[in-house]
Amino acid sequence: MKVLEKTVFKTRYGMLGVFALLLGFALSGCNRTPVQAAPAMPAPLVTLAKATAQDVPQYLDEIGRNGAFESVTVTPQVGGRITERHFQDGENLKKGQILFVIDPRPYKAQLDSAQATLAQAKAALELAKIQFARDEEVIGTRAISKQDYDTKKNTVDVDQAQVDAAEAALETAKLNLEYCYIHSPIDGRAGARLVDIGNVVQANSTALLLIQHLDPIYANFTITERDLPEVQKEMARGTLKAMVRLPSDAEGGARVGKVEFLDNAVQNGTGTVNLRATLPNSDHHFWPGQFVDVKLVLGTQKGAVLIPSQAAQISQKGSFVYVIKPDETADLRPVSLGQRQGDEVVVTSGLSANERVVVAGQLTVRPGGKVRVDAAGAAASPQSQPDQAAKSGGKS
């Protein structure tokens, strides 16, 4: 009987514990606060630019190298010892400016000797003429023989030839003395001198100085034979020009040169043709031997649609831009790109002028999603987004 009572007691005690536990869970559930939904993400902030319509050049992009308009290596025309130098290395020279003096004393002595020889020849000629004139008066009276007459006449002719030779020798002596004073043959800039005072130089073989004419200056470059027909057509019209700038110059700092030379053959090894543009260079901005960027302008594309180059993005399907509609939603628009024009690129299809495109903040934009326009960023320079510009799909 006692065992039965203990069993009933334990059973009642266990049921009470379970009831208390369930009551505790119920009470705790009544006190729990409801879970709130996560706040919506704000629309991404983007910078916009309007597509514009402009007339732009169609061009070939080439690498060129500057060359002097004129280049002269000064060499002596007579030999001797250098006694004077009248310029500084790197000086801007004028045509006719004296550069070097070769010891003139030997050539002055030759000049004096030539003058004396000429005077002697003239005196002999004068005597021969007098004697011939005397004999000519009496030849009719048979006072002299015909042989003597012919001899006197021949003497006059020989002495005349000697005078002519002496005059030529005198002229040569004068030239040699003049060649002792070496002048600049062109306007240009002097390089480093190649000889110093005291050096003995040889006629027509010893280089003294290199002078290069820098204004105007040439830009030499090549094109492929595939582009040759179009270049020939524009050159025949007289409209072919080249925009030339140094790699360090700003995009808008190119100078216009006139293309006046097209080589007469295609190079066998490279399949290219040499061209040359002539550029103004009064400030010596360009220097012989420098590499330059050359845009050979072939024509003009009317009303081309332009966007900042950093607006164009690349995907596996090609180039695209984000176009912002009037309701501030983003539209992913596939586009075809043409040539770059400075910091902008031509859109050949897929976009119209005056449409707004995203130039910064593309990574957070979702097609069809709302955006917030950064009015302050819209006035910023395109160069302020180098990471986006690197993704541009423009052709260069």
Residues 195 and 221 in one domain: no
Residues 197 and 79 in one domain: yes
φ, ψ of residue 371 in degrees (nearest 5) = -135, 160
From the CB of residue 146, how many other CB atoms can be counted at a distance below 10 Å?
9
Report which of residues 252 and 188 the model is more confident about.
Answer: 188
Least confident window among 163-172, 243-252, 275-284, 305-314: 243-252
Mean pLDDT of 297-302: 87
Residue 220: alpha-carbon gap to chain centroid = 8
Mean pLDDT of 358-380: 82
Residues 332 and 381 in one domain: yes
Asked, for residue 335, whether it belongs to a domain, the answer is yes
Residues 144 and 228 in one domain: no
Domain's final residue, options 282, 301, 320: 301
Residues 99 and 196 in one domain: yes
Residues 229 and 276 in one domain: yes
Mean pLDDT of 347-362: 92
Asked, for residue 369, whether it belongs to a domain, the answer is yes
Percent of the residues in the chain that have a pLDDT greater than 90, as a whole number: 61
Domain's final residue, options 173, 201, 229: 201
Structural domain harbouring 21: 1-29
Residue 139: alpha-carbon gap to chain centroid = 83
Cα 204 to Cα 41, 75, 185, 211, 387: the distances in Å are 85, 6, 15, 17, 60
Asked, for residue 37, whether it belongs to a domain, the answer is no
Which of 102-106, 329-333, 348-352 has the highest mean predicted lDDT (pLDDT)?
A: 102-106
Question: For residue 26, is pLDDT > 60?
Answer: no
Asked, for residue 373, whether it belongs to a domain, the answer is yes
Residues 197 and 109 in one domain: yes
CATH number, domain of 363, equals 2.40.420.20
Residue 16: predicted pLDDT: 44
Residue 343: predicted pLDDT: 87
Asked, for residue 39, whether it belongs to a domain, the answer is no
Asked, for residue 376, whether it belongs to a domain, the answer is yes
φ, ψ of residue 110 in degrees (nearest 5) = -65, -35
From the CB of residue 259, how many other CB atoms can be counted at a distance below 10 Å?
22
Residues 278 and 335 in one domain: no
Residues 10 and 95 in one domain: no
CATH number, domain of 145, equals 1.10.287.470
- pLDDT tens for 197-238 read 999 999 999 999 999 999 999 999 999 999 999 999 888 888
Average pLDDT, the chain: 84
CATH number, domain of 273, equals 2.40.30.170
- Please tell me the total count of domains within the chain: 4
Q: What is the pTM of this model?
A: 0.68
Asked, for residue 206, whether it belongs to a domain, the answer is no
Residues 190 and 224 in one domain: no
Residues 185 and 90 in one domain: yes
Asked, for residue 263, whether it belongs to a domain, the answer is yes
List 54's β-bridge partners, or say none. Answer: 304
Domain's final residue, options 248, 271, 301: 301
Residues 189 and 80 in one domain: yes
